[in-house]
Each structure stands twice: as structure tokens, then as C-alpha cells.
Amino acid sequence: MPSQQANKAVRVKVKGLFNSFKPRQDIRYHRTMEIPPRTTILGLAGAALGLSTEEIYVRWKNNDCLDSLVDAGVIQNGYGGKVTDYWTIVKFAGSKRPFPAIQVREQLFKAGYYIYLRPRESSMISLIETAFNDPNYPLSLGRDDELIRVEEATVVDLEKAHSPFTISNSMIPINVVESLDKESRARLLSSFAIYDLPRSFTIKKRGERWETDRRKYVYLSYPARVDSDNVEAYRDSTSDRCFVFL
């Protein structure tokens, strides 16, 4: 791609009250990631567009699905803190009678995000922008009741970022870590968590979702400098924010 070639994307600025993104390995204590994974962003876009789960992951336009037609990226725009919520659930264990159990869930308080959706067909730009300004269904990030408010949905140009550049408040694939400068890498390796996340789902006959295309990611909560042009990162032309598509 030429260095100055711009990519059209829809930037959606959202804000929630309580939101959570549970790592798949958590069972009794549900931590939350700071960033929604790609599948959550696709679900959000699907709700705005009025799509079914099958149209998101199996077939929608011209036998393609939303999953194959859109690149998704996200940058966190701050949050007020984390809260811990206690839920009583009913568990079933074999032939035993159902019994109550306590489940602990973390939630982000007043989290904001810049979500970037880059369609691979130019005709979809206005469709996605219109959908987020007038969504078909209520929009949530996390569980169904964790609603968000769209503060702005607009079309922006994305420019390929060239080293050196910084990424912060964003999720990156774990292979990008080796392209960070030594100071950023040492700081990250001292405290980072690896998230093993699916990029998509396969939908079975009964509607069950099966995870596919699993990849490992880490979250950057501070500005980290990238010293390599091998990283395909993009810069929002209206700001200095850089990110990697998930």
C-alpha cells in the first residue's frame, strides 16, 4: 500500500455506564478486559445494521457475511474505574439438586471507546455510518444489558502509520510485542496479561456458536513506541491516535 494512501473508515465514538468483557478462561471470578474483542465489535455493528447472527458470521451480502466484509479496531477513551458485582447463580451438577453459587464480576464504569469499522466495499461506508446514527436495535458492549450511547459516528480517513509511532489504550496481537522499542517491551513484559480470543464464530444448525481463528492479544495501557514498519497499524487522520485492526 502506498504510504500516503488513505482508507475510508467509520469512526464510532461510544460511552457506556457499566460494561464488561470477560476472558474466556474465567469461571468463578469474571475479570474484565479493558477493550472489547473483535467479535463483540461485530455484534455491535450487527445490532446497528439490524443483522442476525447468521448474517454476521455466515451469509449476508452477495453470499458474504459481515465478518468477512469489515475490519474492526478500537481505542479506549478512558474509564472512571472498575466495580465488582456479586451475582447469585443456580448451578446444576450431575444428578444433584440445583444449588446457589456466588459469581463475582468486574465491570468498567463509564468507559468510552473509539471504534473503527473499515468495510472492504466502499458502498458500505454510508450504510454503516447511517446505521450507527439511527440503529435498528439497542446497542450494547458486553452483556445484553450493558448499553452504550453513540456520541458520534462519522467517516474518517485512515493513514498507514510509519515507524516510529506510538500505540496506547489499545489491544495488539502478541506478535507485535517484538516490534516495540526496548523500554516499552520491558515495561509491558513486567505486568502484561495474554488474552486468547476468537476472531470469529462458526454457527451450527441449532444456532450454537463455535469459536474460530483464535489469536493471542495483549493490552497496552500506556504509550508504547513501535520501531518497525512490519506492523500494519493505522492513524486516524483527524488525530494522532494509532491502532491495529484486531
Q: In the chain, at which residue ranges do the beta strands (DSSP E only) sit?
A: 6-16, 18-19, 29-30, 70-76, 81-91, 99-109, 112-119, 148-160, 165-167, 170-173, 195-203, 209-220, 224-226, 233-236, 242-244
Set of cell numbers at residue 183: 523500554
Phi, psi angle pair for 72, to nearest 5°: -130, 135
The DSSP output letter for 147 is: B
Q: How far apart are CA 37 and CA 49, in angstroms?
A: 19
List the one residue out of 137, 233, 142, 132 whose CA is nearest residue 180: 233
Query: Could you read off the pLDDT tens digit of each residue along the chain, which spans 246 residues?
Result: 333 334 899 999 999 999 999 887 777 778 899 999 999 999 999 999 999 999 999 988 877 999 999 999 999 999 999 999 888 878 777 767 887 888 888 999 999 999 999 998 888 999 999 999 999 999 999 989 999 999 999 999 999 999 899 999 999 999 898 899 988 888 887 667 789 999 999 988 777 889 999 999 999 888 899 998 889 999 988 888 899 999
7 — alpha (psi -120 to 50), left (phi > 0) or beta? beta
152 within 8 A of 229, measured Cβ to Cβ: no
The DSSP output letter for 228 is: -
Q: How far apart are CA 212 and CA 69, in angstroms?
A: 17
- CATH class held by domain 6-244: alpha beta
246 CA to centre of own chain: 7
